[in-house]
Amino acid sequence: METKSGNSRARSVAVDGARALALAVVSLAGSLTLFVLTFVSIVLIVLGVGIVTTPWVLTGVRAFADWRRLVAAEWCGVRIPPAYRPLPRDANPWTRTFGMLGDPATWRDLRWLVVDMTAGFVTALLPAMLLLYPFEGFALAFGLWRVFTDGTYVGWWYGFVPVSGQASALLAGLLGAVLLVAAWFLTPVLLRVHFLLTRAVLASGQGELAERVRVLTETRRDAVDTSAAELRRIERDLHDGAQARLVAMGMDLGTIEALIEKNPAKARQLLAQARQNSVETLAELRDLVHGIHPPVLAERGLGDAVRALALRLPVPTDVTVELAGRADAPVESAAYFAVSEILTNTVKHADAERVWVDLHHTDGRLRITVTDNGRGGAAIGAGSGLSGVERRLGTFDGVLAVSSPAGGPTMVTMEIPCVLS
């Protein structure tokens, strides 16, 4: 048992070290590139070119920040909720540019890019080097020191140890062993420090309460607008569909009543037609009810409802559910329709061969991940289906993060605070 635990710890430390090294590379290259592009694009606004390029560049910055939020939550449990102001749908480039530049979250992102390419790079590189540097000490102890010195002068320094012979090389190996022990305990902690630094810059800070009130006000308005639009859709569907069929059925029954003695054959034909209309009307009503609240969701819960949804997709979909109970009905409904929207977008745009859906509940949050092996390129933007999902989740204080590099894969992660019963 202790051996298994030690092996698991070793794998965890090694994975954290590899993640830290990858973050160091991404922090320096990604943040520097995006900061330069943003600076140049903003400067070009006076020439008119920046009006077109700035929204695209800032969308890239937000996607990069959202990716960091995603890995912070997945790797170290550090949650950094986004607080971007929504933009009007179908906004022109001028409105999008100055709407994004007027958002305090945009300037937090830009400050974070500067921090990420400097202090973020160092805090990501430190745990990786703490894990890798000891192996240089071991190599020196096993004879590599001869490559750097002829034994008459100090040819190499390992940390604070001047290596000039086998004795000092063994001392370097001992220092490497001490550093490796330190890495065993400190690598996960230092990786978490990197994400805590990220949260300190990306989070709302002193204006968090005001930002929270603003977000709640906007999500409440979105919820009211969405409810009104849904009621109009239901009214339209009832008026144009079921109501028209019921009126036609009533007229057919009146005609049947008049023909039942004069022309029984025609009456039987109309009766069969009325029966078919009743079947079609019932099907339309069922579809309408299904769009409001799927029966399987009410009867069997979110997990089985998503499984039923996956069975209707033309793309092979694997669904993993780890839920110890059920959330409140409004939360389940919001989660279900969010998953439905994302899967619909995947089928329409991703050109994916397979989709994976994972639902589980941890730390008081319902977490849903939808992953596909499609072509990527998905982003949260004005007018996109993902923006609608983000607004739907925002009503319940939920968050949405998207990782979708060009060429794929795409991972959409949703979290909604809730308790299971």
- Dihedral over Cα of 40, 42, 44, 46: its sign: negative
- High-pLDDT (> 70) share of the chain, %: 80
Our measurement of the distance from residue 319's CA atom to the centroid of its chain's CA atoms, rounded to an integer in Å, reads 17
Selection from 35-44, 315-324, 330-339 with the highest mean pLDDT? 35-44
User: For the segment 132-168, what is each residue's pLDDT rounded down to a tens digit?
Assistant: 888 888 887 887 767 766 555 556 777 777 777 778 7
What pLDDT score does 3 carry?
A: 58
Determine the average pLDDT of the residues in 63-73.
Answer: 90
Residue 403: name the closest of 383, 384, 377 by CA: 377
pLDDT confidence of 81, banded at 50, 70, 90? confident
Decide which of 171 and 229 is more confident. 171
Say if CB 139 and CB 172 are below 8 A apart.
Answer: no
One DSSP character per residue, 335-394 reads: HHHHHHHHHHHIIIII--S-EEEEEEEETTEEEEEEEE-S-------TTSHHHHHHHHHH
Q: Is the pLDDT of residue 79 over 60?
A: yes
Q: Is the pLDDT of residue 210 over 70?
A: no
Determine the average pLDDT of the residues in 242-254.
Answer: 68
Say if CB 18 and CB 45 are below 8 A apart.
Answer: no
Structure tokens at 347: 């089928």
The residues that bridge with 84 in the sheet, in sequence order, are none
pLDDT confidence of 218, banded at 50, 70, 90? low
Determine the average pLDDT of the residues in 386-412.
Answer: 80
Lowest mean pLDDT among 75-84, 153-162, 211-220: 211-220
Q: Is the pLDDT of residue 337 over 90?
A: no
- What are the chain's domains? 2-203 (no CATH), 218-292 (1.20.5), 300-417 (3.30.565.10)
User: For the segment 262-316, what is each residue's pLDDT rounded down to a tens digit?
Assistant: 777 777 777 777 777 777 666 666 655 555 556 777 788 888 888 888 888 888 8
Q: How many CA atoms lie within 13 A of 57 on its CB side?
A: 24
What pLDDT score does 64 carry?
A: 93
- How do 355-362 and 317-322 pair as beta strands? parallel
- Phi and psi for 299 in degrees, rounded to 5? -85, -40
User: For the segment 341-387, what is each residue's pLDDT rounded down to a tens digit?
Assistant: 888 888 888 888 899 999 998 888 899 999 998 888 877 765 566 77
Decide which of 196 and 231 is more confident. 196
Structure tokens at 285: 């009503």
- At residue 356, what is the residue type? W
Residue reference for tokens 């990782």:
403
Selection from 18-27, 214-223, 387-396, 401-410 with the highest mean pLDDT? 18-27
What pLDDT score does 235 carry?
A: 62
Our measurement of the distance from residue 43's CA atom to the centroid of its chain's CA atoms, rounded to an integer in Å, reads 31
Decide which of 248 and 399 is more confident. 399
